[in-house]
Structure formats: structure tokens, C-alpha cells
Amino acid sequence: MKVLAVAHENDLSGANKSLLGIINNLSKLVNFTVLVNQKNGELTDQLNKMGIKVIYYPYTWWYAHSRNNKFKKLGRVLIEGTNYYVHKQVSKKFINIIRKEQFDLVYTNTSTVDIGINIAGRLSIPHVWHIREFGQEDFGFQNLQNKKKYIDTFNKTNSVIAISQAIKNKYKQFIDPKKIKVVYNGFETNKLYVPLRQHDLKKLKIIVTGQVTAAKRTDHAIKACKKLIDRGIDLELHVAGNIDNAYLNSKVPYAKDYKWCIFHGQVNDIKSLREKMDLELICSQNEAFGRVTIEAMLAGLPVVGANTGGTKELITNGQNGFLYEFGDLEDLAHKILLLKNNPKLYKKIISSAQKFAQQFTIEKVSLNVYQEFEKQLKLSKKEE
């Protein structure tokens, strides 16, 4: 089986890490080639090490990135919209190059690019779309085409793999639900697993990971911790991720002055940082799945997460973590205190969470993806 996998950028984002894991696990069953839109990057470096063929073409996203300022938002739409329409029509020359490769199927690794479905249509081969994000709800992406065009394009795909039931619930509103299969994300769990250790909860060390943006609602974590600090609770909040300063300054203007709030910026070795922490917060308005939730569980940290999106599919309240009402800072602070003040409950939740998280293996995901490839190839042969 020969598959063209389409990436959305040439870095090691969560989506691309998942792609690398799938390629590695299916290397004996599938001959992958990866299409990238930048000539150089961390993804290409890893693929070269793995001996995977890479093809370059200058396609762009069919979404514009989010900006808080309305003028910057408009600027983004104009610039990225222009780039998208310039590269939207895939050249006949490039299609002929792809045709010579004799691919059996096109697999698009994210909903942010549509070149994969366009190539599959031109070659008359099946297309599988792995949707890993809500778009507007989690990242604030702005459509560069009208809604009808998006719906029509998504409906051309043969199959959708959704990374959570929450994602399926969104897309089944305009894609035939029979086309959508839920496959939760997978991880190299043995590499993320950290043996259980003793935690001194007298000074609570809390971590929140991911970009500091409106979508992640990092300000909720900071404000809830400030409430606890004001009540005399000894804690540190560690923020790991790139910072949208305009957002942070608008929501928590004095955050960088708080001695108990430590901003680490982008952290390459998040596992080592987590090993020094006691608890992790997930405050996102909508997590498509919740990669950081599973990573935290495997690292032996209890998670307090907002009862939204994919997070509520991963956390069973009071058993393998705690859910709080999104936006309710008192509820968030209360759940943090429940863990701090109940060592037995704290240990029980850590143990349950680790056992739960160990089921999310990259091997299981890869098998499901391969089975979907096989299914679509069989269906396409029947139609011939």
C-alpha cells in the first residue's frame, strides 16, 4: 500500500508527532511519502532520519490564524487569504509528478489544509481526513472560504478520523456520520510514563502547558491560583508555552509581576519539568482531545480540567482527575484544594489516572488508521 500523507507545517507540533508515530508503526505495512509546504523543518529532519521520502509544494492553510486585535485579524485574513488563493490550484505539472508515484490513497493529517482532498480528486483515489481540531472553537481559526464551500469540500472525503467524540459531534452536523470514525490519539506511553513518587503538598507546584492564548484560557489558571494565594495557600504556578503578550496583558496585566507565577516560555523537555510538579491544570475552552491531559496522567500528575470538549471524555470526575465548570474560578480553586488537602484522594487519583492513560498507545491508533486505509481501498475497488 502506497500512501501520500499531507502535513500542515514542517515542525514538531502535536499533530506531526502523531503522524511520525503512525508512520513509524506502519512502516512494514505502508509505503509512506510525506507532502510538506516548507522545504526545511524539524518534521523533514525526522522523516529523513527515518528514511521516509518527502515531497515539497508551496501550499497554504485554508484557515487564517487567530489574532485578538481586529485590525491584525483583518490583516491576517487578507495576507493569508491571498496566499491561499495563489496556491489553491495545484499545478498540472505537480499533479503529473504525483501521478507517477502511483499512490493508492491520500491521508491528510489535519483539517487545516485542503490540498490533500484536491490531489485525491485529481487522481481519482480515496482520501482519508484525520481531523484533530475544532478550528474556530479551540484555536480561533478564521475561514478563508464561505461555509458552503467548506462543507462541500469536507464531504468529498471518503472517510474522517476524529480524535474525540466532541470532534465527531461537530463535524457530523455537515458530514455523513457513517463516514466518521472516532480514534483517540495515541502516545509512546513507555517514554512518557514516570514512576509514582512522593509529593510534598505543603507548597503546591502547579503546571499549565501549551500556548498562553485565549483558546487555552491560561488567565483562568492564573486567576484561580491568585485566589488561593490570597487565602494563604503556598503554591507556585509554572506556565510552559509561548506567550501571546497582548492576550496576557489584557486579561492578567500584572501576571509577570507575581513571584509565584513562573513563565518558562517554550519548554523542549516538558517531561523533566513535570517531574518537579504536583498537579496540572487544563483550562481550555475546547480541547479537541487533550494531549496534555494524557501526558500529565502518564507523568503521575492529577489533572483538574474544564468540563468541555475532549477533556470531559478523558476525565471521570473524582476518579482519575477532577472536572470543574468552565469559567468558574471558585470551582477551579476548590478542586485544587480538594487534592492538596486530601493526600489519600490525591494518591488514588494519580494511580487511577496512570492506569487509564496507558491504554492510549500509538500502536492502537496506528492499527485503526491502517484498518481505515484498507477499508477505503476495498470500497474503491468495488466501485471500479
Q: Output the 3-class SS for 150-179.
A: HHHHHCCCCEEEECCHHHHHHHCCCCCHHH
- Closest Cα to residue 236, out of 201, 266, 270, 197? 201
* Predicted local confidence at residue 75, as pLDDT: 63
Top CATH class of 189-357 equals alpha beta
Least trusted range by pLDDT, from 57-71, 252-266, 276-290 = 57-71
Residues of the chain with CATH 3.40.50.2000: 2-186+361-383, 189-357
* Predicted local confidence at residue 165, as pLDDT: 96
* Predicted local confidence at residue 141, as pLDDT: 81
Least trusted range by pLDDT, from 72-81, 136-145, 152-161, 245-254 = 72-81
Cell numbers standing for residue 106: 491520500
Residues of the chain above pLDDT 90, percent: 81
Top CATH class of 2-186+361-383 equals alpha beta
What average pLDDT does this structure show over 172-193? 94
* Predicted local confidence at residue 381, as pLDDT: 84
* Predicted local confidence at residue 76, as pLDDT: 63
Q: What is the DSSP string of 88-133?
A: SS--HHHHHHHHHH--SEEEES-TT--HHHHHHHHHT--EEEEE--
Calculate the CA 369 to chain-centre distance. 17
Distance from C-alpha of 214 to C-alpha of 191, rounded to nearest angstrom = 30
Residue with more model confidence, 70 or 368? 368
Distance from C-alpha of 257 to C-alpha of 131, rounded to nearest angstrom = 39
This prediction's pTM: 0.89
